[in-house]
């Protein structure tokens, strides 16, 4: 998995490539924990995300909870596989999928 | 010794000898002697008995009453034809030469010939009539009687010239000979029958034999004819004999009377002439005195007495009385005349006899009193009767008026006549009377002549002799003719009818016993030829019907067989896509349809059920019961209940309304193909052969009771862990109980030896190899029982590609996922499915690491398998962590907002949602989680 962060002021853009699973989720979690302070808008670009497991969902959920307090979080370019997981797990209602 | 006692002993000797010989034959070494020599011995023994019969005979009228013939008949009838002939010849020859030491000559020829013939007679009867068996009791009596009748007839035949003597001989010995010999033979038969411990009673047959019926009617007819002719002959001969006796007696009287008269007349005329010469006119009284005559009278030419020694007669006219008038013939042409003794004309109280001669112009008449003329002729008269005969043994006697005998035949005394006198006088002159003289019955009659009583006598025996000869000959002949007819009818009927019927019957017997190719072929006459044709035609028709019927049944059985086979699994390989096991089954019914069956089917993807069963009996009923059993057991199994419950309930159902009292032995196994764990239950079936650790062995396990045998039985399930490569071989008793032509069984020993003799590529090969071996053992012998086999080899889920991580950590997920993705790409799984499976792997593997092992890493095996119908990927996770079924977790509430949600349970929830099937089981200390994902 590769994480590409682009920070523009209070706007943080995170592009995740590869797999967001049990092994890699802690890595994303750490990146977010380190960078979310003062961020008003968090955008995930999942264009190159192959799939996501529940470990990834957990990271997204905790990020969403934080962003609910300090701004907005949007998810871009969700492919069908990932969208299915979001759909199955009810995450489509929690996340703001653009 | 009393002659009759002697005769009785002789009568009993054949019976005694028979019993002794019988026991010698049965109980001693004698029985083992060669048959020909035995016959010779029997012949000699009974020949000796015949000789004893001859020597111990009772002489009667020049004949011997004996039972020689009985000994010969006994030999022939009871001991064999040759014995009879030998005994007959010995007895006959001895009788011939026995004359030398004083045995009767008169019947020599008759006796000798009869004895020899008796031997042949008995031999012939035994051979042709009794089929070499001993005769019945009554028939043996009849045989003895007929033989003696023949014997007696022979006496007549050989003594034709002296038939009168012959009849006396025959009369005196007929009864004793017939009774003696007949009884002797009969007693021998009775005694021997008793010795053989057979019943004396004639076996009553409901239906008389043809010969018997004809013989009975013939006996009746012949007896009737016999009685009629005999009666007729008797009456005729009696009348003729009496008439003849009358004639003989009368002729004798007439002859003698004529002689006496002639003699008397001559005498009186001589005296009268002498008187005439001495007479002168005055000396009539003197002359009458001198000649002692009663009267001398001279009659003149006018018939008047002109001179007389009795003065009162002077002047008597001869015309005045009938008696005196007769003398007037002397005035015509006669010169002499003598009158019969009788009353005189002048006084009927005076009886005189007159003689007259011509004398001058008139005639001289001299009258005599009886004493006067009798005195003169007595001497002559005695001569008349002394040598006269009436018939052969009759005679004539003369008695004077005072019943003083004048002439008697020699040997007869006066005293004998005392009773006779009044008797014959009462009968009157010239009437035949039957009386007794000297104690002998006689016929006699009398007449008076010249003052004498003249009596002729004929013994009764002589009177009846001709009649008796006729009757005896008649009766004997009738008996002999009947005997011959009897035998002839018997032989003829037997030859013409009975033998043919027997022939037909024996053919019919063969036909009834199923030999429909038998042809009846009795063509001796038209009736039998027609009967034969009818029977043959009937059998042909029957055969045609049977052929048609059997063809129809064959067709129906063929259909039944097809139906039966169609319900058994018959497409192999049964599960071509399955690589984790190999199974093959086959059945060879003994009849067209059988009671064996097997079944194999899966429930779900990982449980294989296989079953073998044997319904008692064979044929259609067994097959029908089998269909029901198969359906029922499968139905119960498919409900998912445990095997023991399947059998317990199945048994209860089979017992309901099992009127035919059939039962089933069955063995069913259910294998979890993933774990190799097999549950099985045995209801009275042969133990299967299980291949483990390189060798087949019987799976000795607890056998339950047969199915359908008793309601309420319960069955216990047992289990066994199969390892890849293990084989379970099921079979029915048709294999161990297969029999070869000598009746030897194939047996378990040979089964286990043969099955262990090699290795098998496939289960089909295993079944084929065993069947071939059974076939070569059985050879030409017919197959008695169905042969059914079912072979299952567990190959194990290891056939699927797998990867095992010995100490699973989170980091291993990548390797595992890479392995699975690699396998999935090989089977052409689309990317989307691969992604979803990868997510599932992530969730499950991390679960196992985190919760299953709880920080103590253990092995995890992941296998991937592609399945067909529908196409799907199956990924299985096996770990040895704590038993944990993640599927039991509560699903998360996905409708909550982000703040309220927890992350727990989400992973499994995703798996459940994205996979088509997720299964969990815990077996043998293993958690097994299987996921399936369909794809196209």
Q: Which of the 8 DSSP states describes residue B915?
A: S
pLDDT at B201 over 70: no
**Cβ <8 Å between A61 and B835:** no
B281 or B722, which is more confident: B722
Residue from B810, B838, B901, B915 whose CB has the most chain A CBs within 10 Å, to mutate:
B901
Residue B513, sorted as left (phi over 0), alpha (psi -120 to 50) or beta, turns out to be alpha
Q: How many other β-carbons are positioned within 10 Å of the β-carbon of residue B322? A: 8
pLDDT in tens, B657-693: 777 678 899 999 999 988 889 999 999 899 999 998 8
User: How large is the average pLDDT for residues B711-722?
Assistant: 90
pLDDT at B441 over 90: no
Is B447:B454 a contact under the CB 8 Å cutoff? yes
Residues of A in Cβ contact (< 8 Å) with B811: 23
Q: How many other β-carbons are positioned within 10 Å of the β-carbon of residue B590? A: 17
Is B69:B181 a contact under the CB 8 Å cutoff? yes
pLDDT at B336 over 90: no
- Do you find a cis peptide bond into B573, omega within 30 degrees of 0? yes
Which one, of B168, B151, B198, B171, lies nearest residue B53 by Cα?
B151
Nearest to A89 among B838, B845, B909 (CB): B909
**Cβ <8 Å between B898 and A52:** no
In this structure, the dihedral spanned by the alpha carbons of residues B123, B124, B129 and B135, taken in order and rounded to 10 degrees, is -30
At the fourth CATH level, the homologous superfamily of domain B568-796 is: PPM-type phosphatase domain (3.60.40.10)
Residues of A in Cβ contact (< 8 Å) with B835: 50-51, 81
B175 alpha carbon, distance to own chain's centre: 38
Nearest to B906 among A19, A23, A54 (CB): A54
* Per-residue CA distances from B1 to B7, B172, B493 (Å): 10, 21, 50
pLDDT in tens, B312-333: 888 888 888 888 888 888 888 8
User: How large is the average pLDDT for residues B29-57?
Assistant: 87
Residue B797: per-residue pLDDT = 65
CATH number of B800-934: 3.30.565.10
B674 or B815, which is more confident: B815
CA distance A34 to A12: 12
Query: What element of type H or E holds B546?
Result: helix B526-567
> In residues, how long is chain A?
98
pLDDT in tens, B76-135: 998 889 999 999 999 999 999 988 887 778 888 988 999 999 999 999 988 888 878 888
Is B783:B590 a contact under the CB 8 Å cutoff? yes
CATH number of B263-373: 3.30.450.20
Is B366:B378 a contact under the CB 8 Å cutoff? no
Q: What are phi and psi of B723, to 5 degrees?
A: -110, 155
Confidence grade of residue B47 (pLDDT, cut at 50, 70, 90):
very high
pLDDT at B418 over 70: no
pLDDT at B416 over 80: no
Range in B262-271, B668-677, B769-778, B908-917 the model is least confident about: B262-271
* Domain B3-204 grouped into CATH 1.10.1760.20: yes
User: Taking all residues of chain B, what is their mean pLDDT, rounded to a whole number?
Assistant: 85
Q: Which of the 8 DSSP states describes residue B385?
A: H
pLDDT in tens, A50-74: 888 888 888 888 888 888 888 899 9
Residue B156: per-residue pLDDT = 87
- The radius of gyration computed from the CA coordinates of chain B, to the nearest angstrom, equals 66
ipTM attached to this prediction: 0.90
Give the E-state strand segments of B622-705 in sequence order.
664-672, 677-683, 689-692, 695-698
Residues of A in Cβ contact (< 8 Å) with B914: 84-85, 88
Contacts (Cβ under 8 Å, ≥6 apart) of B819: B803, B862, B864
CA distance B130 to B476: 25
Residue B560: per-residue pLDDT = 81
Residue B417: per-residue pLDDT = 63
* Per-residue CA distances from B563 to B444, B558, B559, B633, B731 (Å): 115, 9, 6, 19, 22
Give the E-state strand segments of B428-550 in sequence order.
433-437, 440-449, 452-459
> What DSSP string describes B105-161?
STTHHHHHHHHHHHHHHHHHIIIIISTTSPPPHHHHHHHHHHHHHHHHHHHHHHTGG
Contacts (Cβ under 8 Å, ≥6 apart) of B56: B6, B7, B9, B10, B66
- Which burial class, exposed, middle or buried, applies to B316 when counting CB atoms under 10 A from its CB (0-12, 13-18, 19+)? buried
CA atoms B575, B581, B582, B588: torsion sign:
negative
DSSP-based three-state secondary structure for B770:
helix
Residue B700: per-residue pLDDT = 84
Residue B667: per-residue pLDDT = 95
Residue A1 forms contact with B (CB below 8 Å):
no
**Cβ <8 Å between A19 and B838:** yes
Residue B755: per-residue pLDDT = 93
Residue B592: per-residue pLDDT = 65
Q: Which of the 8 DSSP states describes residue B743?
A: S
* Residue whose structure tokens are 């030998």: B86
CA distance A38 to B826: 49
Residue B415: per-residue pLDDT = 63
Question: What's the distance, Cα to Cα, between the start and end of chain A in Å?
Answer: 22
CA distance B47 to B92: 9
Is B929:B676 a contact under the CB 8 Å cutoff? no
User: How large is the average pLDDT for residues B568-589?
Assistant: 86
Q: What are phi and psi of A70, to 5 degrees?
A: -120, 5
Residue B728: per-residue pLDDT = 95
Q: What are phi and psi of B662, to 5 degrees?
A: -90, 165
What HEC string does B253-281 produce?
HHHHHHHHHHHHHHHHHHHHHHHHHHCCC
Residue B591: per-residue pLDDT = 67
User: How large is the average pLDDT for residues B608-613?
Assistant: 94
pLDDT at B798 over 70: no
List, in order of start, the domains of chain A with CATH numbers.
2-94 (3.30.750.24)
Token pair in block for residue A32: 């977010």
Residue B419: per-residue pLDDT = 64
Its CATH class, for the domain covering B239-256+379-463, is alpha beta
Residue from B835, B845, B915 whose CB has the most chain A CBs within 10 Å, to mutate:
B835
Q: Choose the most confident range, by mean pLDDT, from A3-17, B26-40, B612-626.
A: A3-17
Residue A79 forms contact with B (CB below 8 Å):
no
pLDDT in tens, B828-871: 889 888 989 999 999 999 889 888 888 788 899 898 888 877 88
CA distance B365 to B357: 7
Is B612:B732 a contact under the CB 8 Å cutoff? yes
Residue A84: per-residue pLDDT = 87
Nearest to B839 among A68, A85, A94 (CB): A85
Residue B326: per-residue pLDDT = 83
Residue B54: per-residue pLDDT = 84
Which one, of B566, B629, B638, lies nearest residue B609 by Cα?
B638
**Cβ <8 Å between B843 and A54:** yes
Residue-range domain boundaries for chain B? 3-204, 239-256+379-463, 263-373, 568-796, 800-934
**Cβ <8 Å between A88 and B814:** no
Nearest to B843 among A19, A53, A94 (CB): A53
pLDDT in tens, B525-551: 888 889 889 988 988 998 899 899 988
DSSP-based three-state secondary structure for B475:
helix
- The radius of gyration computed from the CA coordinates of chain A, to the nearest angstrom, equals 12
Token pair in block for residue B461: 């025996």
Which one, of B442, B377, B448, lies nearest residue B409 by Cα?
B442
Confidence grade of residue B207 (pLDDT, cut at 50, 70, 90):
low
Which one, of B138, B119, B118, lies nearest residue B187 by Cα?
B138
pLDDT in tens, A18-48: 888 888 888 999 988 888 888 899 999 999 9
Is B793:B726 a contact under the CB 8 Å cutoff? yes
Calculate how close chain B gets to A25, using CA atoms only, in Å. 11
Q: Where are the alpha helices (DSSP H) in A1-98?
A: 25-35, 54-70, 80-89, 91-94
Nearest to B899 among A65, A88, A93 (CB): A65
Contacts (Cβ under 8 Å, ≥6 apart) of B101: none
pLDDT in tens, B452-479: 888 888 888 888 888 888 888 888 888 8
Token pair in block for residue B111: 């006796």
User: How large is the average pLDDT for residues B192-220?
Assistant: 70
Residue B198: per-residue pLDDT = 62
Residue of A nearest to B900 (CA): A65
**Rounded percentage of chain B residues whose pLDDT exceeds 90:** 21
B197 or B883, which is more confident: B883
pLDDT in tens, B250-261: 888 888 888 888
Residue A89 forms contact with B (CB below 8 Å):
yes
Query: What element of type H or E holds B581?
Result: strand B581-588
Give the E-state strand segments of B643-710 in sequence order.
664-672, 677-683, 689-692, 695-698
């Amino acid at each position: 998995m590769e994480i590409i962060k682009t920070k523009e002021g209070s706007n943080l853009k995170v592009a995740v490539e590869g797999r967001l699973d049990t092994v890699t989720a802690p890595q994303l979690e750490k990146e977010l924990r380190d960078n979310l302070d003062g961020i008003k808008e968090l955008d995930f670009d999942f264009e190159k995300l192959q799939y996501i497991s529940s470990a990834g969902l957990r990271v997204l959920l905790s990020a969403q909870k934080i962003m609910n307090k300090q701004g907005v979080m949007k998810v871009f370019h969700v492919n069908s596989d990932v969208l299915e997981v979001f759909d199955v797990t009810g995450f489509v209602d929690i996340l703001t999928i653009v | 010794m009393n002659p009759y006692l002697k005769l009785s002993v002789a009568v009993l000797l054949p019976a005694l000898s028979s019993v002794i010989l019988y026991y010698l034959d049965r109980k001693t070494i004698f029985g083992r002697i060669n048959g020909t020599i035995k016959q010779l011995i029997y012949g000699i023994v009974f020949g000796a008995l015949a000789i004893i019969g001859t020597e111990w005979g009772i002489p009667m009228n020049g004949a011997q009453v004996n039972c020689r013939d009985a000994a010969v008949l006994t030999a022939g009838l009871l001991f064999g034809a040759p014995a009879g002939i030998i005994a007959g010849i010995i007895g006959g020859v001895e009788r011939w030469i026995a004359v030398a030491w004083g045995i009767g000559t008169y019947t020599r020829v008759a006796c000798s010939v009869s004895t020899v013939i008796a031997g042949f007679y008995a031999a012939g009867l035994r051979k042709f009539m009794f089929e070499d068996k001993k005769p019945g009791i009554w028939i043996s009596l009849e045989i003895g009687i007929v033989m003696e009748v023949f014997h007696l007839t022979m006496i007549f035949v050989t003594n034709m010239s002296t038939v009168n003597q012959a009849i006396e001989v025959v009369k005196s010995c007929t009864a004793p000979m017939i009774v003696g010999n007949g009884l002797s033979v009969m007693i021998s038969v009775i005694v021997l029958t008793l010795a053989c411990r057979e019943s004396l009673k004639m076996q009553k047959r409901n239906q008389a034999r043809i010969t018997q019926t004809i013989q009975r009617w013939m006996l009746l007819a012949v007896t009737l004819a016999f009685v009629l002719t005999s009666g007729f002959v008797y009456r005729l001969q009696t009348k003729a004999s009496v008439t003849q006796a009358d004639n003989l007696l009368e002729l004798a009287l007439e002859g003698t009377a004529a002689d006496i008269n002639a003699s008397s007349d001559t005498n009186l005329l001589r005296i009268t002439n002498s008187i005439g010469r001495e007479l002168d006119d005055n000396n009539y009284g003197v002359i009458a005195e001198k000649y002692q005559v009663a009267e001398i009278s001279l009659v003149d030419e006018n018939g008047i007495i002109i001179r007389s020694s009795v003065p009162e007669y002077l002047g008597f006219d001869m015309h005045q009385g009938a008696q005196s008038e007769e003398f007037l013939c002397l005035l015509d042409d006669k010169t002499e005349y003598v009158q019969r003794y009788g009353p005189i004309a002048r006084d009927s109280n005076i009886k005189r006899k007159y003689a007259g001669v011509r004398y001058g112009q008139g005639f001289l008449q001299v009258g005599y009193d009886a004493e006067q003329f009798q005195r003169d002729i007595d001497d002559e008269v005695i001569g008349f009767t002394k040598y006269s005969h009436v018939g052969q043994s009759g005679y004539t006697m003369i008695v004077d008026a005072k019943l003083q005998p004048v002439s008697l035949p020699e040997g007869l005394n006066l005293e004998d006549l005392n009773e006779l006198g009044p008797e014959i006088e009462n009968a009157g002159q010239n009437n035949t009377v039957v009386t007794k003289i000297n104690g002998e019955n006689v016929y006699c009659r009398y007449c008076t002549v010249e003052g004498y009583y003249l009596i002729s006598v004929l013994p009764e025996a002589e009177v009846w002799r001709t009649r008796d000869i006729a009757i005896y000959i008649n009766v004997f002949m009738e008996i002999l003719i009947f005997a011959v007819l009897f035998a002839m009818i018997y032989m003829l009927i037997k030859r013409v009818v009975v033998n043919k019927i027997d022939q037909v019957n024996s053919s019919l017997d063969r036909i009834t016993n199923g030999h429909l190719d038998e042809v009846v072929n009795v063509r001796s006459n038209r009736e039998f030829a027609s009967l034969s044709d009818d029977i043959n035609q009937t059998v042909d028709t029957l055969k045609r019907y049977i052929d048609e019927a059997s063809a129809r049944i064959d067709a129906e059985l063929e259909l039944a067989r097809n139906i039966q086979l169609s319900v058994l699994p018959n497409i192999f390989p049964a599960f071509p896509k399955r690589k984790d096991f190999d199974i093959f089954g086959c059945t060879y019914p003994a009849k067209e349809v059988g009671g064996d069956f097997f079944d194999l089917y899966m429930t779900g993807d990982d449980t294989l059920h296989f079953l073998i069963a044997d319904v008692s009996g064979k044929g259609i009923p067994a097959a029908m019961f089998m269909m029901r059993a198969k359906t029922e057991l499968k139905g119960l199994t498919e409900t998912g209940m445990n095997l023991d419950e399947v059998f317990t309930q199945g048994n209860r159902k089979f017992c309901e309304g099992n009127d035919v009292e059939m039962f089933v032995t069955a063995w069913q196994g259910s294998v979890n193909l993933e774990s190799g764990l097999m549950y099985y239950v045995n209801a009275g079936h042969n133990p299967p052969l299980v291949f483990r650790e390189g060798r087949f062995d019987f799976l000795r396990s607890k056998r339950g009771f047969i199915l359908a045998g008793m309601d309420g039985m319960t069955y216990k399930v047992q289990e066994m862990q199969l390892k890849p490569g293990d084989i379970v071989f099921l079979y029915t008793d048709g294999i161990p109980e297969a029999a070869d032509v000598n009746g030897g069984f194939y047996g378990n020993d040979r089964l286990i030896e043969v099955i262990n003799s090699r290795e098998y590529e496939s289960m089909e090969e295993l079944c084929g190899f065993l069947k071939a071996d059974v076939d070569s053992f059985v050879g030409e012998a017919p197959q008695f029982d169905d042969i059914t086999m079912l072979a299952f080899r567990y190959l194990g889920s290891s056939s699927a590609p797998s990867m095992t991580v010995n100490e699973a950590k989170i980091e291993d997920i990548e390797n595992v996922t890479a392995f699975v993705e690699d396998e999935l790409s090989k089977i052409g799984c689309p990317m989307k499915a691969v992604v979803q499976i990868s997510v599932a792997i992530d969730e499950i593997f991390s679960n196992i690491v985190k919760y299953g092992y709880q920080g103590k890493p253990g092995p995890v095996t992941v296998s991937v398998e592609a399945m067909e119908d529908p196409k799907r990927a199956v990924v299985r996770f096996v770990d040895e962590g704590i038993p944990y079924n993640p599927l039991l977790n509560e699903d998360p509430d996905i409708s909550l907002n982000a703040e309220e949600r927890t992350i727990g349970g989400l992973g499994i929830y995703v798996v459940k949602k994205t996979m088509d099937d997720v299964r969990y089981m815990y077996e043998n200390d293993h958690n097994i989680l299987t996921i399936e994902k369909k794809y196209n």
